[in-house]
Chains A and B, each alone.
Chain A
């Protein structure tokens, strides 16, 4: 776990980007190789199975929908098999492969989020933005940091707003547009107010984007080796 946490964030981000691209192009062999890598990362990161299950619980429904959308064929007319809904074996294999890819991607995302501090991500984004003229890396990085910081606050506010509306029987209104508008507008107004207050609070503490100090990044030998290994593995998967 420590080795992944201490890894240079830029190199970790590059490795994740390579794997994410390759997983979309990989065939069965490539997916097996990537799955073995995920198991190895699981061992290194020492995740508890319960944590992984908790994270995956969120996407089980999505995976089921993706699989069913590929595997099940719905006919408007009763076909030769005499059924309205039939299972397409080729589609089922395609659906399983897509789900497999999504599982690998999600797992890589969990590894990334569990082993990288938001300040590290911010610094890496700032570094990657540097060569592009007109892209204000510091501002992009600060914005990302604030989004990460404020997500729990915004989610909590959304829960509060929803609970407050349920207390006043919003569920009796069947019109989804009405319900969405009544939920989204107050939430948006509160979010904008919070953004105003945040801007004032940052200004009160002498914030200037150019003054923010990025983390010192220094890739070590193991970081370069990890990048080399990732590049070789990705190239092999793409070629095979």
Chain B
């Protein structure tokens, strides 16, 4: 999806220090436009998850602010959480429903929607991730890829405009990764803004338009994916195989 030119996320001079004194993120600023597909990459502990948790108000910054569609997160946290859906790294610890259907309905029910609307949203979210046939299944019986898709469906049912995915390919086998990646790219094509973090840039090459490299809580590089993909090693991220092959064989 081509970015619209309108910023939906505006992060300005965001800093956060943990209670033990460690610097989580340090003076980060960037804007993300509607419909963009942004990859945030960096070594373990570089601040990706901390940054993501500021985008929907789960963490409050020490300084700086985050605006969602022009309104600061702190001014209306509920709105921010509706607009920015966060999919956590460990799918198991965010699935709360007894069945797949119940879990997807959890968010819309919290928004106090009427049952018919909840049902419509749940069905539409399950269709979007290809899991309608598993509606009555118990979540702990799903495969890793299915659990991740269920977590995404839970966010889609809240009709979030921005999907933030923290390491969505972690611990997934090849088919699980393909299932999740194809849903993410479909969602981006349908107009959703996607922000995801990963260590493995091979998977998102050719899909993402923008890459943000983080190191020690700061942004090291921010630009078009193809322009900075060759410099990722300086942020402690593996250079994609395609780039290494190109460097070797031209």
CA–CA, A205 and B164, complex, Å: 13
**What mask results when residues 100 to 114 of chain B are scored 1 for a CB within 8 Å of chain A, else 0?**
001000110111100
Knowing A200-B88, A211-B112, A213-B109 are in contact, say whether A118-B98 is a contact too (CB < 8 A). yes
The smallest C-beta distance from A202 to any residue of chain B, in angstroms, reads 6
The smallest C-beta distance from B74 to any residue of chain A, in angstroms, reads 15
In addition to A153-B93, A194-B90, 19 A-B residue pairs with Cβ atoms within 8 Å of each other are A117-B98, A118-B98, A119-B102, A145-B96, A146-B96, A152-B140, A156-B140, A194-B92, A197-B88, A198-B94, A200-B53, A201-B94, A201-B96, A203-B81, A204-B56, A204-B86, A206-B81, A206-B110, A211-B112
- CB proximity to A under 8 Å, residues B40-63: 53, 56, 58
The smallest C-beta distance from B93 to any residue of chain A, in angstroms, reads 4
Complex interface: chain B residues within 8 A of A201 (CB)? 88, 93-94, 96
Tell me, yes or no, whether A236 is within 8 Å of chain B by CB: no
- Whether B110 pairs with A208 at a CB distance below 8 angstroms is yes
- Whether B110 pairs with A204 at a CB distance below 8 angstroms is no
Complex interface: chain A residues within 8 A of B98 (CB)? 117-119, 145, 148-149
Tell me, yes or no, whether A240 is within 8 Å of chain B by CB: no
CA–CA, A149 and B93, complex, Å: 10
- Whether A206 pairs with B82 at a CB distance below 8 angstroms is yes
**What mask results when residues 139 to 160 of chain B are scored 1 for a CB within 8 Å of chain A, else 0?**
1100000000000001100100
CA–CA, A229 and B112, complex, Å: 39
- Whether B58 pairs with A202 at a CB distance below 8 angstroms is no
Knowing A148-B98, A149-B98 are in contact, say whether A206-B107 is a contact too (CB < 8 A). yes
Binding site for B on A (CB under 8 A): 117-119, 145-146, 148-149, 152-153, 156, 194, 197-198, 200-208, 211-213
Tell me, yes or no, whether B233 is within 8 Å of chain A by CB: no
Q: Which residue of B78, B88, B93, B139 contacts A206 across the interface (Cβ within 8 Å)?
A: B78
CA–CA, A184 and B47, complex, Å: 31
Residue of A nearest to B56 (CB): A204
- Whether A197 pairs with B97 at a CB distance below 8 angstroms is no
- Whether B154 pairs with A153 at a CB distance below 8 angstroms is no
- Whether A153 pairs with B140 at a CB distance below 8 angstroms is yes
The smallest C-beta distance from A204 to any residue of chain B, in angstroms, reads 5
Closest 5 pairs between A and B when the two form their complex, measured CB to CB: A201-B94, A197-B93, A205-B107, A206-B110, A152-B140
- Whether B97 pairs with A149 at a CB distance below 8 angstroms is yes
The smallest C-beta distance from B207 to any residue of chain A, in angstroms, reads 24
The smallest C-beta distance from A201 to any residue of chain B, in angstroms, reads 3
CA–CA, A94 and B92, complex, Å: 47
Query: Could you list 23 examples of A-B contacts with CB < 8 Å?
Result: A117-B98, A145-B96, A146-B96, A148-B98, A149-B96, A149-B139, A152-B138, A152-B140, A153-B140, A194-B90, A197-B88, A197-B93, A198-B96, A200-B88, A201-B96, A204-B56, A205-B110, A206-B78, A206-B81, A206-B107, A206-B111, A206-B158, A208-B110
Q: Which residue of A146, A148, A204, A212 contacts B81 across the interface (Cβ within 8 Å)?
A: A204
Complex interface: chain B residues within 8 A of A197 (CB)? 88, 90, 93-94
